[in-house]
Structure 1
Amino acid sequence: MTDGYAKQRAAAPSGFFEVEAAGLTWLDVPGGVPVAKVLAVGPTSITVSRVATVAPSAAAARRFGAQLAVTHNAGASAFGVGPDGWSGDGFIGDAPLSLRPTRRWGEFYAEQRLLPYAQRAHRQGALDASGLAVIEALAERLSAGEFDDELPPARLHGDLWAGNVLFSGDSVVLIDPAAHGGHRLTDLAMLALFGLPHLAEVYAGYTDAFPLADGWTELIGLHQLHPLLVHAALFGGGYGSQAVQVARRY
């Protein structure tokens, strides 16, 4: 890393850059995945350390997976809670992101991650009534605890697609989080949604460091529903129908 990299947005919503800074600081844990360092932040801009990128490698991907398990293991006080030192909601991309502490994962995921975006996508014509009903039926089962397990809240990046994973040195550096307490599979699922080089090595490194329950890969789609619905709400296109197809598997 060398000098700083600044992002500016004159009409940024209140807290837009400040919650990003809080998330980066919260994710910076010993032994975890390296993150871009916050150099300065204000209402209309953030400056972070510049990242020197390299070509992706299997070894770096495997190290990243092991480090991600450490980051997740740092934990959170509740599902849905925001980063330490932050009060209020956050953002995922340009969409608002609820950060309301919740005791059970399924209730949190249904009420804060699926329904708001499905309803917005429906209002905007990106999700028809029958598709909305599919999401609502799954959300009801989530709220009832059908998919809950014994894993405690993990410390999530929250927007872990390939564009926010920069291969650098012998691992990666993370940028642009939507950090919150959630289920660790959510970050792993996001990595798979739009593709990441050497993803199998990331998963291998992760599960070596933190073994997951048998059949965990079968739940990847469930955890991809949130970003799919966010994309449906923001961009329309085929994201709404893709989300419905995934939801029908559960």
Structure 2
Amino acid sequence: NNLLESARELYATVSMPLRVRLSYRDDSDAYLGLPELWKTAQEQLKNAVVANKLDYFEETGEAAFYGPKIDFMATDAIGREHQVATVQLDFVQPERFKLGYIADDGSTRQPVMIHCALLGSIERFLAVYIEHTAGRFPVWVAPEQVRVITVNQEPATVDFADKVYNSAKALGLRLMVDNSNESVGKKIRASEIAKVPYTIVVGDKEIASGEVVPRIRKDMAVMEVPLTIGIEQFLKTVANEAKSRVLKTSL
């Protein structure tokens, strides 16, 4: 039960809904152990999944050679399923290695081994996570959380953008300043393609007022009405969102 709850909590943190595949043996000779043991083990796994109120389905032929599995399945952005966490019963290896323990009554008993991989390799997890989000990372995960776009390359504008950059870095934010000699529209489009959570445009108006109108990535937005907010308040809000691991904007 603790392992199942740990898997559920882990993937809830990164907002990856899961369903469980109960992976059973088929009738082939590819599996070790007595059929009676397999039947009991498969029933025990199913009982644990039902007791934890997990969404599940059963599939034969997906078990390991040494025992049945609880495989957690995540869906990517186009509906394909990928196995992520897994909990597996193994009653074969303890017998092959002659493992035993002393029970309370003094008798020697054979343990059941549990294989557990909640994350697997970090590379595989990240691959599935990227496919799940289609690169639209929440602000706390995004490699670039804010992009600052200048409306021109005037020294005053570039200096102001640099000040915003330094203020954001002081708050622990990850950002980039785009002061290239491109149109504002093209810069905004580039930020959208990069799936940056927040984009702000700075020019004479923003320098004078100290306020910006953040462009929020669509999947994070709550309201459609643009919000005008002080630059320092905006940066602090984004920093708090990153710290709190929110999925939707609070702006």
TM-score computed with the length of structure 2 as normaliser: 0.20
Higher helix share: 1
Larger radius of gyration: 2
Higher strand share: 2
Kindly indicate whether structure 1 or structure 2 has the higher relative contact order, using CA contacts under 8 Å at least 6 residues apart: 1
TM-score computed with the length of structure 1 as normaliser: 0.20
